[in-house]
Amino acid sequence: MHRSPTRLHVILWGLSTLFTTCFTWALIAAKLDPDFGWRIRHGQLILERGISTVDPFSYSMPSYPFVSHAWSFDILLAYTDRTIGLVWLSLGVAILVQLLCATQTWKLRFSIRGALLNLVVMGALITTLGLRAQVVALALVTYALWLILLPEDRWRIWRWTIPTLALFWANTHGSFLLLTLLLLVRWATTVYTSKKLQPVDFLLATATIPLSLINPYGSLLWFEVWQTLSDSSLGQRIIEWQPIWRIQTASQLLGLVFVLWGAVLTFTHRKQYPLHAVVMLVCGLLAISSTRHLPLAVLMALFAQVRAPFVIPEGFLSRLSKDRLLSYIFGIATLAITTLTAASYVFAFTWTTTASQATVPKQALPWLREYLPSARLYAPYDWGGYLIKNLPNSKLFIDNRMPSWRWQAPPGEVDAAMDIYARVYLGDVDELQRILQQFSVQAVLVRRNDPSDKTESAIRALGWLAVYQDATVTVYQPAARTQE
């Protein structure tokens, strides 16, 4: 028996929606995504000069065929920054993310599960949020999941939105291949269950590939995506590309638990809902390969949770009241999810109010603008976006766009800036000396209190002197230059 709808549950659903929206807004407004700086600067360059075909920001690989797979988002950032301001854009992004969750939990607003799912899902997604193109990708993934899970009669109507979706996705984010993958999964599962070939569905799925070539970069977009997907070193060097067993936050752990629960529900009902089970499996495998894909699996688990047959199996509550062991297990699981949800919000709040202010060289900007307004700088990889935005006339050795950039470079450039940076990070003095001399680098910025970064010991071994220091950064210059 289902309980009759209550006004209290609707109020709780509304309050949870309001709370998570406001919390997300505050987080996004305060959080500096590493890509944010170069994206807003690149958007400004597009508005001023049009699409750039080579790298405009580095001195190490200036001829490299630079591709911004989220070029339209870059323009949005730049335009918003000079019109309504980024605080209001942050609100828009927060509302968008909340809508992804609320459009599903709305179906459960008359139950306490609606409010709880709001809190749990947003807690699981919270560390991935920010003024970043991935937020738009989350919206597109949500629509794609909704689309492929439609009943057959509604699918036949809505599937004609696929060409428009594919074209928009290819010009918004590099995850556009997910659409092709999800459509092919739906087609293969439907063929297997219906014993019919479904040629229209197959043609629509494969049509997304040529449609993705309609973008300012043409086939270079695929080259950029392939460079990233084939880079086996990403999982070792970049945190968000690490496999699922190397999760580092309560939010990610909460997401993993939520995905596991969604997997249990879908596979329990795999005979009635085979497509849900297959899609959940695919999303789960992607999440295992990289924590970057965990939000995809979380969204799929949300779709599973809001399906009434998936939520609580028939007779479960009566068994729970009689089976002491089962009640203990259910109680422990509930306590764990509650604790992880609370920890996710506490961690996010703590990071926003303290740690986020110490992750970039904000205090050093006035000094850098006065003494090095237009210089060749060597700085930590994850500071690249921030420095590109705030020191627009300077050039960098490496920044956040370049972990997978590899090619046969022309004379005077490097083949792979990230590989050189990794060796210098480990303290390779000869490598550091070579690039400092080759590119006439004027200053080296070193992050303070990072024992794993050996760049500081290498630069000191070369006789460079500290000319500026604060709680976040130390700036080194050659001894001859400091005496000028």
In a domain, residue 178? The reply is no
Q: How far apart are CA 322 and CA 131, in angstroms?
A: 49
94 CB burial (10 A radius; 0-12, 13-18, 19+): buried
* Number of structural domains in the chain: 2
Q: What token pair was written down for 58?
A: 């580095």
Residue 1 confidence (pLDDT)? 42
In a domain, residue 192? The reply is no
Residue 438 confidence (pLDDT)? 96
Domain boundary among 97, 131, 165: 131
Closest CA to 292 of 164, 187, 421, 173: 173
Tens-binned pLDDT, residue by residue, of the chain (484 aa): 444 557 888 999 999 999 999 999 988 888 778 888 999 999 999 999 999 889 999 999 999 999 999 999 999 999 998 898 888 989 999 999 999 899 888 888 888 888 888 999 999 998 888 888 999 999 999 999 999 999 999 999 999 999 999 999 999 999 999 999 999 999 999 999 999 999 999 999 999 999 999 999 999 999 999 999 888 888 788 878 888 888 888 898 999 988 988 888 888 778 888 999 999 999 999 999 888 999 999 999 998 877 644 445 545 555 555 666 656 666 677 788 888 888 889 888 887 666 555 578 999 999 999 999 999 999 999 999 999 999 999 999 999 999 999 999 999 999 999 999 999 999 999 999 999 999 999 999 999 988 899 999 999 999 999 999 999 999 999 986 655 5
In a domain, residue 388? The reply is yes
Domain boundary among 131, 156, 183: 131
In a domain, residue 19? The reply is yes
In a domain, residue 250? The reply is no
Treating both helix axes as pointing N-terminal to C-terminal, what angle do 274-289 and 177-194 enclose, rounded to 10 degrees?
Answer: 150
Residue 59 confidence (pLDDT)? 97
Give the domain extent around 427.
365-482
- What is the β-pairing status of strands 443-447 and 473-477? antiparallel
pTM above 0.95, yes or no: no
Q: How far apart are CA 302 and CA 305, in angstroms?
A: 5
Q: How far apart are CA 86 and CA 327, in angstroms?
A: 48
H/E stretch holding 260: helix 250-268
Whole-number Cα distances in Å, 285 to 18, 123, 278: 33, 21, 11
For the chain, first and last CA: distance in Å?
A: 84
In a domain, residue 177? The reply is no
CATH code of residue 377: 3.40.50
In a domain, residue 381? The reply is yes
Q: How far apart are CA 436 and CA 443, in angstroms?
A: 9
Q: CA 218 from chain center: how many Å?
A: 24
Whole-number Cα distances in Å, 83 to 50, 130, 141, 220, 344: 19, 19, 29, 32, 33
Domain boundary among 111, 131, 151: 131
Q: What token pair was written down for 218?
A: 């043409």
In a domain, residue 54? The reply is yes
Q: What token pair was written down for 128?
A: 């991935």
Residue 328 confidence (pLDDT)? 66
Backbone angles phi, psi at 58, to 5 degrees: -110, 155
